[in-house]
Amino acid sequence: MTLKIYGDLEQARRTVLQRRDMMNLDEVPEPVRAGIARVFGEELTPEQAVARLLADVRNHGDEALREWTARIDGLTLDDLEIPASEWKAAHDRLPADLAEALKLSAERIRDFHARQPIPCWTTDAMGGTLGQKLVPLERVGIYVPGGTAPLPSSLLMAAVPARVAGVDDVSVCTPADKGTGRVPDIMLAAAHIAGIDRLFTLGGALAVGALAYGTETIPHVDKIVGAGGLFTTVAKRQVYGIVGLDGLYGPTETVVVADDSARPAWVAADLLAQAEHDVLATAILLTPSRDLAEKVQVEVARQLETLSRAEIAAASLAGQGGAVITPNLETAVELADAFAPEHLCLSVEEPERWAGKVRNAGGIFLGEHSFEVLGDYVAGPSHIMPTGGTARFKGPVNVLDFVKVVNIIGLDEETAAGLCPTAKRIADAESLTAHGAAAGQRIAIN
C-alpha cells in the first residue's frame, strides 16, 4: 500500500497526526553521520559541524568558503559572485514560454504583495505625538536551495516581496549544480526578473555564515530569508541575533480535507505533488468518506507509476503520509487546525465556510480549483510558509518580513510633567535610581 488508511482516529492521533520534532538532532540518520565524518575527518553532531563551518567563515572569509565548498561538494569556486550580465544572458537563452512563465509569476507575486497594507500611524490623543513608522530593512540575504533541482520560484517568492517592501540591497545565495559546477540558467533568469542586487554561488551553512558575518566578497546582511536543508536550518539557528531570521523550516507538508464532492484523482495528485519534494515531506488526507479515501488510495498507486520522483514520493507517503477517516467534516477541520500545517487544502463544498473555523495554517486553499501547486508558482502569495507546526505562531513570508517597526514618542510638556511622578515611582520600585532621578529632575522644575 502506498497510502495507508487509518480508520481508528486514536491510532491516527498517535501516529500520522503526531508531530515529530524535526529539529531534534539526537537521532541523526546514518547517511548524514557518514557525510560529516567524510568532510571533517571525525564524528561530529550537525550542530558541532555547523559551528565549525561558521567559525571558519567568520575568521577566514572567502578562503574558508572556497575550501569548504571543495571539501563538501567537490566544486572549485573561482568566482563567488555571478555578474548581472550573465543573468540577462541566461534569461535570453531560456525558451520564450518559460521566460514568460517566470515573468507572470513575478508579476502576480508583486501585485499581491503591493496590496498588503503597511500601516504607519500617529495620534495626538495621548498628549503630544505618539505613533509607529515602518522602515524597510537596509540589507537582506535570501537563500535559495539547489539540492536535487533548481528552485527559481523560491527566489521570486522571497526577492519580489523584499523589493515591494523597499529593501535597499537584496543579495541571493544559491549553490551550483554539482554536475555542471554552475548555477542553472533558470536561476540566473529568475534573478534577472526579480531585480535583485547581487547573486552568489554558495550553498547551505556556508551561505548562511557568509550572509551573517560578511566576507571580502559577500556583504553581511540584516536578515536572512529562505528555507533549506538540515545544515542550513541549523546554521540559521546559530546566527540568530547576529542577523534576523524569517523562520526555521523543516520538511514541507500538506493536509487535504475532503468530502464526497472531491475528485479522487485530483486529491491524489495534490498529495503526490507534496510527497515528491522529499522523503521527509508530509501529505495527509482527512475525510469522513471511506469511499473517497479508498478511491484516492487507488489513484495514488496508479499515478505514482508515471512520476519521475516516484521513489521519493512513495517513501514520503510510507513514512509520514496517510488517509484518516473522521466521524464528520467538522472533526477533520479540527484535526487539521490542531496539526497547523504549512498548506491546508479544503477540497469540500462551501470551503469558505470551513476556512472560517481554521486558525492555524500557513495557507488555506479554498476548493479544488485553488490547489496548492498554483500557490507554489503563480497564485501570488509567497510559498515560503511555516512548517513543523509553527503556523501556530507564524505566518508566511510577506512584506512585513522586510520592514521593522520604529516607535515615535513626542509627548507635550504638560503630559510629560504629569507622567514623571508615575515613572519615578516605578523606577524607584525597580531600584533603578538613575531612572528615577531622570524623571525626578523634570518634576523639580514643574
Residue 144 lies in a domain: yes
Residues 51 and 110 in one domain: no
CATH code, 200: 3.40.50.1980
Sign of CA dihedral 425, 431, 434, 435: negative
Q: In this predicted structure, what is the pLDDT of residue 24?
A: 62
Helix (H) or strand (E) holding 443: helix 433-444
Residues 259 and 305 in one domain: yes
Residues 388 and 290 in one domain: yes
Name the residue among 304, 218, 228, 317 with its Cα closest to residue 269: 304
Residues 332 and 438 in one domain: no
The burial of 291, by beta-carbon neighbours within 10 Å (0-12 exposed, 13-18 middle, 19 or more buried), is given as exposed
Max CA distance (Å), the chain: 84
Q: In this predicted structure, what is the pLDDT of residue 379?
A: 97
Q: Collapsing DSSP states into helix, strand and coil, what is residue 243? A: strand
The domain of 268 spans: 5-12+251-392
Residues 132 and 216 in one domain: yes
Q: Name residue 156's amino acid.
A: L
Query: Which residue spans within 88-160 are E strands per DSSP?
Result: 121-123, 129-136, 139-143
Q: Give CA–CA dist 369/82, Å, rounded.
A: 39
Residue 312 lies in a domain: yes
- Which of 215, 245, 275 is the endpoint of a domain? 245
Residues facing 253 on adjacent strands: 282
Helix (H) or strand (E) holding 300: helix 290-304
- How close are the terminal C-alpha atoms of the chain, in Å? 81
Q: In this predicted structure, what is the pLDDT of residue 25?
A: 58
Beginning with the edge strand found earlier in the chain, give each strand of the sheet holding 403-410 in spatial order: 121-123, 129-136, 403-410
Residues 266 and 348 in one domain: yes
The per-residue pLDDT for range 371-393, each reduced to its tens digit, is: 999 999 999 999 999 999 999 99
Residue 223 lies in a domain: yes
Residue 291 lies in a domain: yes
Q: In this predicted structure, what is the pLDDT of residue 26?
A: 63
> What is the value of pTM for the model shown?
0.93
191 is written with which cell numbers?
534573478
Q: In this predicted structure, what is the pLDDT of residue 31?
A: 84
The per-residue pLDDT for range 226-285, each reduced to its tens digit, is: 999 999 999 999 999 999 999 999 999 999 999 999 999 999 999 999 999 989 899 999
Name the residue among 68, 155, 66 with its Cα closest to residue 109: 155
Q: In this predicted structure, what is the pLDDT of residue 79?
A: 93
Q: Give CA–CA dist 445/427, Å, rounded.
A: 19
Query: In sequence order, which ranges of 324-370 are alpha helices (DSSP H)?
Result: 329-339, 351-355
Best-predicted range by mean pLDDT among 40-49, 144-153, 284-293? 284-293
Q: Give CA–CA dist 113/131, Å, rounded.
A: 24
Residues 60 and 127 in one domain: no
Helix (H) or strand (E) holding 209: helix 204-213
The per-residue pLDDT for range 180-225, each reduced to its tens digit, is: 889 999 999 999 999 999 999 999 999 999 999 999 999 999 999 9
Lowest mean pLDDT among 144-153, 198-207, 341-350, 432-441: 144-153
The per-residue pLDDT for range 52-72, each reduced to its tens digit, is: 999 999 999 999 999 999 999
Residue 22 lies in a domain: no
CA distances from 326 to 13, 179, 197, 319, 323 (A): 11, 47, 50, 21, 10
Lowest mean pLDDT among 24-33, 73-82, 104-113, 211-220: 24-33
Residues 193 and 85 in one domain: yes
| Residues forming the active site | 342-343
Residue 282 lies in a domain: yes
Backbone angles phi, psi at 249, to 5 degrees: -115, 140
Angle between helices 185-194 and 84-93 (to 10 degrees): 110
Residues facing 27 on adjacent strands: none
Q: Give how many domains the chain has, as a whole number.
A: 4
Q: Give CA–CA dist 438/446, Å, rounded.
A: 14
The per-residue pLDDT for range 307-357, each reduced to its tens digit, is: 999 999 999 999 999 999 999 999 999 999 999 999 999 999 999 999 999
**Where residue 446 falls among pLDDT bands split at 50, 70, 90?**
low
Q: What is the mean pLDDT of the chain?
A: 95
Cβ pair 251, 63 in contact under 8 A: no
> Percent of the chain at pLDDT above 70?
98
Residue 445 has pLDDT above 80, yes or no: no
Q: In this predicted structure, what is the pLDDT of residue 147?
A: 65
Name the residue among 241, 246, 335, 229 with its Cα closest to residue 12: 335
Residues 239 and 263 in one domain: no
Q: In this predicted structure, what is the pLDDT of residue 22?
A: 62
Helix (H) or strand (E) holding 106: helix 96-114
Residue 21 lies in a domain: no
Residues 234 and 304 in one domain: no
Residues 327 and 374 in one domain: yes
- Which of 217, 245, 273 is the endpoint of a domain? 245
Q: Give CA–CA dist 252/48, Å, rounded.
A: 25
Residue that has been written with the C-alpha cell 487544502 in this structure: 345
Residues 129 and 64 in one domain: no
Residue 285 lies in a domain: yes
**CB neighbours (10 Å) of residue 97?**
7
Q: What angle do CA 226, 394, 141 make, to 5 degrees?
A: 25
